[in-house]
Structure formats: C-alpha cells, structure tokens
Structure 1
Amino acid sequence: MAKKQPDAVKYKGYVPAEGAKIDRVKATVDPKEFHKRYIAKRQPVIIEGLIQDEDFKAAKWTDLGYLKETAGSASVKIEPIDPDVKTFGTAAEKLKMPFSEFIDKLTSTPDKYYLTTQYDEDGEPSVLPPPMDHLATDFPLHPKITGNLVLQQTNLWIGNSSEGTSSGLHHDFHDNIYCLLRGKKRFVLYPPSAHPSMYTYGELDTVHQNGLISYTNRPSRADGLTEREAAQEKVDALEERWHKLEEGADEEAIAAAEEAFEDAMGELAMLGDEDDEEDLELGDGGDDFEESESDGDWETLGSKAAKPNDVHEEESSDEEDGPTFGEFNGDDDHDSEEEEGLGFDIPEDEDPVSFSTIPVSYLHNHLDLPTISKAPKGNVKDFPLLKTANALVGHLEEGEMLYLPASWFHEVTSSSSKNGTVHMAFNYWFHPPDGSEFKHPYNDRSIWERKLRAVEQKAADIKARVAGKKRKKEKAKAKRKRKQERDAPLKDQKRAKLDGKKTKRNQA
C-alpha cells in the first residue's frame, strides 16, 4: 500500500489550478513549440487533428474490411468480458485467435471482446506487436510532433460498447500520444504530484522531477531505467565505442576507451545480479493507458452514480503512516479475486502498483460527473485526500489526439459513437524524457541516442519486411488478375459453345 511521503514527491512540472481546463492546440503546431509548451512542462494537451506526417494513414483503419485484409492473419490475444460481473479486466483467460476472427466477433457480439496491449512471442513488449507489425507501413514510427523522444511501443485498441466502459483510475510509465480514430472518450486527469491523494496499491519510492513515479518494488531513474539497466546500457555503449576505435584510432584513444569500459563493468558488478532483483519490468511494459489498456476495462459503468451514503467515512488509527485505503466488510480470506470495496478484479498475474483503489463511482460522484457506474460491493471508507487534488476533465472526439506525460493519473470513459459501431484508438508510448532540450530530451545522451538508433533500426527492419510481403501479395494479386483477363475470352467462348448446344437440344 502506498504511504504518504511528501519528501519523495520531487515533481516540477505543470499542476492544474482549481477549475482549469485541458489546453487545446492545432495538430499543425511546430514540433519545437510543442516540446517547449507541453513536453518540457509535462502538461497534457488535446491536439485538434491527427498525426500530420505524410505516411500517417491510420485513419483508414476504421474500414474493418481493410484491417481484415491487411492484418487479418495476425495472431492476437483477446480479452473476453467476465460473464458474471459483466466487466473486462478480470482474471478471465485471454483468447488467442486470428485478428480477422476477432473483428468478426466484435461486430457480431458487441460488448463481449476487447483488443488490448499485445506482446511478442516471448511475452515481452515490442515496438510493433501484432497486429501493428502488419500495419507498419500505415504510420510513421517517429512522428514529427514528438521531436526526439524514443519510441517504446505502439498499440491498437478496439472495442464495441454501446453503454460505455471505464478504465479505472491509474497511471502509466511512458509519455503517450493517443489518437482517437473512432468513438468518444472522456478523460479525468490528475498530475503525478497528486500521488498521495490517489491511494495506489504500490508503495511510493519517488515522484521524479519529470513526473515519472517509481515504486519500492522497482526503484527507477527519471528516464524509467533502473540503476542496473542504466549501468548495463553504459557498458554496451562503451564496448561498442571501444571496438569501433580499434578499427583505426590511435593506441592512446583505444586504451582510454578500454579503461572506461572496464570501469563501467566494475560499476555494473557492484550493482549485483539482475536475477536477484524482484522487479516487474514496469519500465518496459507496465502501461495501462485506456480501458486499463494492457488489461481491458476495470469496471463497467453501472446504472446510477454512487450516492453519498454509499460511502462510510472512518478515521484512520495510524495517521503517521499516511492515507489508508478502501476497506470492505467481511472476512479478508475470501476466495474470489474480486476485491470488494474496489469495484474491480485484480488479475492473478499482475501487481497493479499504479492503480488507484478509489472506485470509479466514487470518483465520478466526487467530481459531479455524469455516470452510470455502479457503486462497488461493501461499505467503502472515504478517501479524504482526493479532495485536495485538482482534476482536469476533457472530452476527445474522433480525429483528435491527447498528449499525456508519463505518470499522469487518468480515468477514461469510452463509448462507441453509434450502436453497433466500434470504438478504436491507436497510440504511441515513448520513454519519459528527463531533460528539457528539444534536440536532447534525455540527460544520459550516450544511452538514449544508442537506444534511439536501435529502436529505429529494429522498426525499419520490420517495416521493410512488411513492405516486402505487401509487394509480394500485390504481385500475386496482379498475376491472378492477368490470368483472369487472359482466360476470360476462352471462358466466354466455352460458355457460348455450351449455350449453343443447349439451344439445339431445346429445339430438337
């Protein structure tokens, strides 16, 4: 459980005043101006329009036929709705199926399936996981508006909800450019500095100056790397430099590079063995942006807003430990994975350190927002510190984007524009910048410039492979068309001959 640690909150970015609104900016904004006004200041903003790069063609994904034709063979894992609690984000086992089959299920059985974050075959995050690897030629890997941020992952989110679903209140660990292609979204946002008021599961280690939140189960630097990961990256970079110098530099430069490499190896050794660390790799794959993005919806919206008497305020008996959390009546040793008093289930294979224990119904009621969220089971105690934090509330329409800096808390209510249609979004996750310069957004330049080159090379290889497959497919399609055109006259002749014989038989 999180504890109140004011000294650990070092955030220096934007904090909304009471009654503030989310800024809006045109998608044609100059990238340097965008970085200065929003990325460097760690301020969310709604962007009016989609990615302006010429190779951004994701808007055509709203044609489900195109998605099936282009990426239908991709193998994806789909989250089914829990039949008992009627919600996503439970311990229900994900279903593996071709992407085309998912699209068919989505349109024939709405409100039952959801496409969330995908991983590679080893279960690791990937810059272009399926079905993004099949769609890689439809969007830029480095959109101009994001400047020199380093890409961590791209994702496609598709659901079909007529009534609406909620993500639950949580934060992610990467900067986000979120593109709404179809549907509607309402966002409730809180800054990272509000962490003491968010009642998270995780125990706070640090809220860094750039806003990135680090927990005690995996302490990290402001750029998201652990000290050991950073040391390993430094070793790799120095080793690469050393070997390059051996190709032609003087002996003195080679010796200096070798010495620096050996010093870095010593620093790495002092940090211990990675296998001895019990971390969740949140810096690589712990984001849950929208509909709890990596694990679907954490609470479906119910029929009414929570009433004030649904919440029972109790005084903490241990105030020096900071805020306590939502409690529920009954035996703590219940068998169900559902935490009564929270309103959503905890996946068995995930420790949701970045999720708030504040129920959606309570949050909406506190902010006087329209809601159909049901109050959770049990008698939940009050969350008094929530009243000390100022929220931003905004609406995203089709064809708009949201920039959300790392570790901004958010609750997202999502719905389809019309009954029977899907809601669809595409997003980029970027490693959080800990510097303020447009050209060099990361302080540890040697590490991040190398990582940028590696990401771009890997993504370029995938794009080239996808483009090659597409050309091969188009070539085969053209070959079939030529054959059909060539055979057409023969088929016409044969059909005419058969028709002639039939006519003669009828006359006879």
Structure 2
Amino acid sequence: MKRAASPSARKVKSTRTPLNQYAGTEVGQDWEVDAIETLDHFYERYIETRTPVKLIGETNLPIDLDRFRLDNIVDRLAYPEEKKLQVERKVGFGFGSGKSRELMSFAEVVEKFRKGDDSYYLTTQYAEHDVVDASNTSDTEELQETYETEDKENEAEVAKDSEAEESKNEESTDGEHDGGNGQVDFANFSDTSSLASFDVNDLHDDFDDVDSENYVDEKLKLTTEEAEERVLSLFQPPLTELCNDTSFPITPKPFDTLIPQQINLWMGSSSQSSPKPDLLHPTKESLGKWVPNGNSSGLHHDHADNLYVLVEGRKRFTLYSPKDALNIFTVGDIDKVYANGLIDYKVNKNARLWRKMRDDGALVAEHAAWLLENEDFSTYSQQELEDLIENEEEYTGEIDDSLDPPSFSSVPPVLAHLDELTDDAEVESLTKYANEHYPGFLNLNKTQVWLEPGDMLYLPCGWFHEVTSFANEDSPAHIAMNWWFMPPNGSKASKPYKDDYWKHDYSKTLASIEYVRTK
C-alpha cells in the first residue's frame, strides 16, 4: 500500500554516529535456532528475547496446508478471475526489490508456477495492484516506468495511523486488532467470527462513490473507504476471501497479544538448473541475487515480527543478528537500531521517502498526531508534538531509481554461501571480491534454518535474512504464508506495547472487519 508523500517540512541533517542499542539474542559461533513443538512460555523465551525459533508439529499449524497447495489453491481461495495481481519478475537472478512487475490473474500465475516458470514471484500487493494490465499494454516501456515510479513511492511499508491507513517504510520481500468509548473489545473479539456475508466483489477499488463523512464508526472516525482499505490491507490479495472463513486465525497462537499488520501469500517456482554468472570476474551487477541451485530473496530485514509458514517446496533462511546491522552494508544509512531490533534509517538519497520510526514500528509524526488528537501531553508538550509533525525530515535532492529499498543489503547473496561452491578458483575470486568491497562481511556470525512443508519460523524484526527457495522432485513450486506483527516494545506478554497507539489503531481494523461482515 502507499500514500502520498508527507507535506513539505524543514530538512534536518544529523551527523551523529549510528547507534546500535540492540539488546536481544545474537548469533554466536555454532549457535543454532531451536526447533520446538511446545508453545509453553513462548513469549518470554522467544518474543521478549528477540530470538528466532522454528516451530514444528501439525498441532501448531494455524492453517490447513492442503488448502494452499498448488493443485488446490485457485479453487480454495476463490479469488475473482477479473482481479489482477502484481507479480514480480526476476531481476539479477533474484527477487525482492520489486523493480519489475506485471499484472495477471491468479489462475495465470499458478499455471506459470505449475509449468516451472521461475521468472515470476508472487509477493505482497501494492495499492495500485489492479491499475495496469500488462497483457493489454503494448508499450512495455511505459508499463515499466509506471511500476518503477510506483516502487519508489512505496519505499515505505504499510502501517496504519489513527486517522487512516498510512505508509510504513517498505522492504517487501519473501518473508520471504477495548471496551468502552465505542471501541471494539479486544478480549471478546473472536478472530474466527463469521464473515459469511462478506463478498470481496463488493469492495470498491477506487472508492470514488464513498462520502468521506459516511462513518462506519463515528467515535473512531472510521469511514467506509478506510474500512474497506483496512480489510484489503490486512488480508493481502489473493487472500481477501479468507475473511469469509470462520476457522482462519487473524492472530495465530502464540502471537495473539501482538497486533497484526499484514497476512501475505508468497508463491514462486525454482529450477534445479539455472544460468550462472561469471564468478571469476565478479561485480555487483553480474552477481545480482544469484545463489547456487535456487532463487534468492536477497539479504534484507523486515520492520515487523514475522511468522512464516511453509506450505510447499523447501526454503533455507540464512540469518544475521541486528547486532551486526552496521556491518551488513545496507542500501540505506542506518540511523539507529532499537533494543528490540527495529532499524531506523536516515532520510537521504538512499532512503528518500523514509519516515522516522519508533521502536514499535509507528511513524514518529503519526504517533505525535495521535497524541495531539488525544490531548496527551504526558511525554511531550503540545509545542513539541507540533514540532515533530511540522519538522518531519524530507529528502528533496536528486533521485536514484536503481536503488533497492533501504532495508536491503548491497552484499550479493552468493557471498553468504561460498561454502557451497566447489571450484576453488571461484571461491578465491569471490573471497577477494568480498574483502575488497564488503570488508568484514565474511567474518560475521550467521546461522541457517531449513524449512520443509508444515514447518514455521518466527523471525523478530531487524533480523537480516536471505531466503533461498528450492524445488522438490515432484513439483517446482514453492508456496508460503506469513503474518507480520507490529514489533513489541513492552516488557510482558499481557502488555506487549508501551502505549495504546497500536491497540487503538487495531480497534479500527476490527471495526472494519465487523463492517464488511454486516454489509
């Protein structure tokens, strides 16, 4: 999703040294991710300590895997044929940057994966996901220009503020919602309440006919337009019809005290043999995102806690701790790493649409607006809050459209997998290249997690991960679902966030879901 750029504001330059306050689990030598079947004390052991963990065992699965397998997914999801999806095209041997996208129906996407076409990847959808149909556009250069422009407008990943759905700084890749005051009661709200009356075809794409004063909930100032946008944002296409499924969990255990941001579907295909770059004469451009034997997401981090569920295929996550963030050569210039791992960037040419963030993923200016609206001056004075909004940093210089999102590492992912290469000359060449261009990277501690169908991975925000997707012998496709949650900054499971900003925001999402149920 995206929003218009923030109003003009005074550009503030910062020269202080980047600060890494990360206080969670680090990758030590020979450290491995736990694989667990029991969820006892999960929050205290993993979420609170910011520790990745692999969840195994059918009893922990939040979904019926069979429903989302390649042979069943088109019929079972029932996503409308006329609705087009953005499908990313492979660039530089891999995916994740969103630099090239096409539009096609869900059935067309699935058929390409069934045939083993590994040049496409279905990932998170943007606000304009049904604006331009590639199959009906003869001017491909114009189409690509449209996509690239939209990409740069979406450097911020979606979050929602207290007024309407707002942008959150973007890195969308493979991963790879109180009683009283007219608000929704969290304790009594069921994630599996009936949505049988909801019809995705009733959702408006342009919302041109919606009266901005036509409130779904007047106390929450929730309009019909915002309500429909929130539902589409939470249940990312082609998952929208899951709103009708009373058994589908919006917040699976053991994450039911966290605030969900998005639920996504990831689909692709991997060839067991693919072109190989010249490893004896490496450059950043020639290496791209190539890795041996699979398709790579590229090394990056998220700004949300991630529950990743593998449905089909095989995945390998290569992980680096947020403690090493300043040594991973991110595209953006890191300004701060919070204690919980969330990484904030400087607003400059490398992150031109970045908006400063709190440790819970809230945008600083939007949080200030929420405090003003609620006349909460317990932390900041009214003048200080107004200054935070009016003086929000904004980049006004030249633009480099070739850049990946700021949360991506510029390190070619093959450099994390030199141990898989068998040619000594290639290893020597790449080692020399890495030490010259990315000094210290090869010395960082890392760990790997392999996922098979039915396995899940919890990955706290800020953990760098390179995801390689592999084909199985019986099918080239790989399919996964994930839930993104706003990163907690509180001290206990019963109060994962320090204030009620996200709780209030989620009450609007819950009211939105209730609205589409009763339409």
**Bin of the TM-score, shorter chain as denominator length:** 0.5 to 0.7
Distance, in Å, in 1 between the alignment partners of 2:510 and 2:63 is 17
| Alignment match of 2:372 (pick from 235, 260, 270) | 235
Distance, in Å, in 2 between the alignment partners of 1:29 and 1:81 is 37
* TM-score (normalised: structure 2): 0.63
Q: Do the aligned partners of 2:298 and 2:466 also contact (CA within 8 Å) in 1?
A: yes
Report Cα offsets for 1:243-290 as digits up to 9, x if no partner.
xxxxxxxxxxxxxxx7869x875443222338x64379xxxxxxxxxx
| Alignment match of 1:272 (pick from 363, 370, 389) | 389
Count, aligned residues? 366
Please give the secondary structure, in 2, of the residue aligned with 1:120.
coil
Q: Give the aligned partner of residue 54 of structure 2.
A: 46
| Alignment match of 1:454 (pick from 504, 508, 511) | 508
Distance, in Å, in 1 between the alignment partners of 2:459 and 2:422 is 23
Instruction: Determine if the alignment matches structure 1 residue 133 to structure 2 residue 240.
Output: yes
Q: Give the aligned partner of residue 30 of structure 2.
A: 19
Distance, in Å, in 1 between the alignment partners of 2:261 and 2:254 is 16
Q: Give the aligned partner of residue 448 of structure 2.
A: 393
Please give the secondary structure, in 2, of the residue aligned with 1:67.
helix
Shift of 1:72: 4.5
Distance, in Å, in 2 between the alignment partners of 1:50 and 1:156 is 20
Q: Do the aligned partners of 1:177 and 1:428 also contact (CA within 8 Å) in 2?
A: yes
| Alignment match of 2:340 (pick from 210, 214, 218) | 210
Report Cα offsets for 1:296-328 as digits up to 9, x if no partner.
xxxxxxxxxxxxxxxxxxxxxxxxxxxxxxxxx
Instruction: Determine if the alignment matches structure 1 residue 29 to structure 2 residue 84.
Output: no
Report Cα offsets for 1:175-210 as digits up to 9, x if no partner.
000000111111111110101221112111111111
Closer/same/farther in 2, CA of residues 361 and 93 from structure 1, 3 Å limit? closer
Closer/same/farther in 2, CA of residues 209 and 94 from structure 1, 3 Å limit? same
Which amino acid in the other structure matches residue 85 of structure 2? V
Closer/same/farther in 2, CA of residues 264 and 61 from structure 1, 3 Å limit? farther
Distance, in Å, in 2 between the alignment partners of 1:259 and 1:196 is 35
Q: Give the aligned partner of residue 493 of structure 2.
A: 438
In structure 1, runs of 5+ residues without a counterpart are 239-257, 281-336, 338-345, 469-508
Q: Do the aligned partners of 2:124 and 2:264 also contact (CA within 8 Å) in 1?
A: yes
Shift of 1:457: 2.8
Q: Do the aligned partners of 2:415 and 2:442 also contact (CA within 8 Å) in 1?
A: no
Please give the secondary structure, in 2, of the residue aligned with 1:134.
helix
Closer/same/farther in 2, CA of residues 48 and 370 from structure 1, 3 Å limit? farther
1:80-119 aligned at under 5 Å gives the runs 80-82=89-91, 87-89=94-96, 93-108=100-115, 110-119=117-126
Which amino acid in the other structure matches residue 114 of structure 2? T
Distance, in Å, in 2 between the alignment partners of 1:121 and 1:201 is 25
Q: Taking every aligned residue pair, what percent have the same amino acid on both sides?
A: 34
Instruction: Determine if the alignment matches structure 1 residue 223 to structure 2 residue 231.
Output: no
Which amino acid in the other structure matches residue 19 of structure 2? A
Closer/same/farther in 2, CA of residues 92 and 171 from structure 1, 3 Å limit? closer
Report Cα offsets for 1:357-404 as digits up to 9, x if no partner.
222222211xx246999988x956253322443111121111010000
Which amino acid in the other structure matches residue 56 of structure 1? I
Distance, in Å, in 2 between the alignment partners of 1:393 and 1:200 is 20
Please give the secondary structure, in 2, of the residue aligned with 1:64.
coil
Shift of 1:434: 0.9
Distance, in Å, in 1 between the alignment partners of 2:17 and 2:326 is 8
Closer/same/farther in 2, CA of residues 205 and 371 from structure 1, 3 Å limit? farther
Distance, in Å, in 1 between the alignment partners of 2:329 and 2:266 is 27
Whose radius of gyration is greater, 1 or 2? 1
Q: Give the aligned partner of residue 505 of structure 1.
A: none
Q: Do the aligned partners of 1:11 and 1:207 also contact (CA within 8 Å) in 2?
A: yes
Q: Do the aligned partners of 2:69 and 2:479 also contact (CA within 8 Å) in 1?
A: yes
Distance, in Å, in 1 between the alignment partners of 2:35 and 2:337 is 26
Please give the secondary structure, in 1, of the residue aligned with 2:415.
helix
Q: Give the aligned partner of residue 281 of structure 2.
A: none
Shift of 1:6: 7.2
Please give the secondary structure, in 1, of the residue aligned with 2:234.
coil
In structure 2, runs of 5+ residues without a counterpart are 1-13, 130-153, 159-232, 273-293, 348-354
Distance, in Å, in 2 between the alignment partners of 1:427 and 1:259 is 35
Q: Do the aligned partners of 2:90 and 2:120 also contact (CA within 8 Å) in 1?
A: yes
Please give the secondary structure, in 2, of the residue aligned with 1:443.
coil
1:318-337 aligned at under 5 Å gives the runs none
Shift of 1:109: 5.1
Q: Give the aligned partner of residue 201 of structure 1.
A: 331
Which amino acid in the other structure matches residue 441 of structure 1? P
Closer/same/farther in 2, CA of residues 205 and 90 from structure 1, 3 Å limit? closer
Please give the secondary structure, in 2, of the residue aligned with 1:412.
strand
Q: Give the aligned partner of residue 257 of structure 2.
A: 148
Which amino acid in the other structure matches residue 222 of structure 1? D
Q: Give the aligned partner of residue 292 of structure 1.
A: none
Q: Do the aligned partners of 2:416 and 2:442 also contact (CA within 8 Å) in 1?
A: no
Q: Do the aligned partners of 2:368 and 2:386 also contact (CA within 8 Å) in 1?
A: no
Shift of 1:47: 0.5
Q: Do the aligned partners of 2:70 and 2:114 also contact (CA within 8 Å) in 1?
A: no
- For the aligned residue pairs, the C-alpha RMSD in angstroms reads 3.4
Structure that is richer in helix per residue: 1
Distance, in Å, in 2 between the alignment partners of 1:449 and 1:259 is 16
Distance, in Å, in 2 between the alignment partners of 1:259 and 1:112 is 51
Q: Give the aligned partner of residue 362 of structure 1.
A: 415
Shift of 1:132: 1.4
Q: Do the aligned partners of 2:257 and 2:493 also contact (CA within 8 Å) in 1?
A: yes
Which amino acid in the other structure matches residue 357 of structure 1? S
